[in-house]
Amino acid sequence: MTGISIDFLPVGSGSKSGDSILIEYGSNYQKQIMVVDGGSLAAGSAAVEHINTYFGAPAVIEHVVCTHQDGDHSSGLRKIIESFEVRNLWIHQPWLYAEQLVSAFKYRWTAEGLSKHLRNDCFPIVASLCDLAEEYGVPLREPFQGTAIGPFYVLAPNINRYLGLVPQMGQTPAARELATESVLAGIFKSIKDAVLSTVEGWGIETLGTPAAGATSVTNETSVVLLGQFDSGRVLLTGDAGIGALQDAIDGAAIYGLPLLSPDLVQVPHHGSRRNVSPGVLDAILGEKQSEYDLKRGSAISSVSTGAEGFPRKVVENAFTRRGYACASTKDGWKNWTTGLTPRGGLSPVSPAPMHGLVED
């Protein structure tokens, strides 16, 4: 029988959050370890200490997954590679596809020149992580849709969609020419979003569908993972936006994987309202329930300790209506276990209530 114990660690401070997720899976007699994102360098050190304290100072980490290249997800993985024997690092390496991508960039790049530019100038954190892995003899693998990583399946990104997004990423030369004042408009809108002035109830949902481009292109390349265990299913979403989540829905259908109503779901992008919509939540969690129906599962938001304004209350309400008890890491790390004996000293997670006032 296979089970899972999964720890979500807080990363960052204030409104700056990242992801650091530590997993044990298998049986009570033989467990393997998987790390999904490592947060900042400081968070990576905290993850190493957590693993040594709660996972029995293991010698081996079977799988390390970098969901996308943002530093608040990738930087801390250096500490994992330096501290343990890592058997697989799953990470996207866009420079490997320079030949396919070169026509999307101006200024007559050669494939070789573009490859070097992407590696050294556009994605230096990812490149240094890959260099470190090669130094330590860790095999590099890429997490694209349809790939199995231990008991998890990659639902997104689809490789073709990923390659279409790379030239649009803000740090690439093609995308830099596309920057407009709409970026500033988005920043001001995020400030406005934090004002609690809209009334909601169980039967009143004000969550809307985000406009195209509401979340960053980089976040849209996030790896989405579905884990299947004898006693439940787990969906990890990273910073996925609407496009990535739809990619995951399509991927589950293509590969015949049971996505609907997982037992545990990570709330995308620290509970941002820009990453989910009622339609996408219906397709993943199930349609809205009455407040008297049995709960379908649990939802956890990865946020910094004392997070300011996250997870968004309108998002937590949307998950609650669909039968998910919501919690976050703003008051410390959270554990969810099924099919394994819970570790001693773990306290039950207190779910968030339905919020009466949400962000305008």
User: What are the extents of the domains in the chain?
Assistant: 3-359
State residue 174's pLDDT score. Answer: 59
N- to C-terminal Cα separation, the chain: 46
The CATH homologous superfamily to which domain 3-359 belongs is: Ribonuclease Z/Hydroxyacylglutathione hydrolase-like (3.60.15.10)
Encoded tokens for 313: 């209350």
With a CB cutoff of 8 Å and minimum separation 6, the contacts of 172 are 105, 118, 122, 166
With a CB cutoff of 8 Å and minimum separation 6, the contacts of 191 are none
Pairing mode of beta strands 31-38, 63-65: parallel
Task: Give the span between the Cα atoms of 318 and 42, in whole angstroms.
Answer: 33
Considering only the C-alpha atoms of the chain, give the largest distance between any 2 of them, rounded to a whole number of Å. Answer: 62
Q: Looking at beta carbons, which pairs linking 174-181 to residues 24 or more positions away fall under 8 Å?
A: 174/104, 174/105, 174/106, 175/217, 177/106
Tokens 């919690």 — which residue? 327
State residue 71's pLDDT score. Answer: 76
Task: Give the span between the Cα atoms of 281 and 245, in whole angstroms.
Answer: 9
277, 212, 255, 302 alpha-carbon torsion, rounded to 10°: -60
Full 3-state SS string of 240-285: CCHHHHHHHHHHHHHCCCCCCCCCEEECHHHHCCCCCCHHHHHHHH
Answer for the pair 262, 303: CB distance below 8 angstroms, yes or no: no
State residue 173's pLDDT score. Answer: 64
State residue 179's pLDDT score. Answer: 39
Task: Give the span between the Cα atoms of 66 and 82, in whole angstroms.
Answer: 16
pLDDT in tens, the chain (360 residues): 689 999 999 997 766 788 899 999 999 999 999 999 998 899 899 999 999 999 998 989 999 999 998 777 888 999 999 999 999 999 999 999 999 999 888 778 899 999 999 999 999 999 999 999 999 999 999 999 999 999 999 999 999 999 999 998 876 765 444 433 333 333 334 434 457 779 999 999 999 999 888 888 999 999 999 999 998 999 999 999 999 999 999 999 999 999 999 999 999 999 999 999 999 999 999 999 999 998 999 999 999 988 888 999 999 999 999 999 999 999 999 999 999 998 876 766 788 999 999 997
Encoded tokens for 246: 């739809």
Tokens 């920043």 — which residue? 187
pTM: 0.93
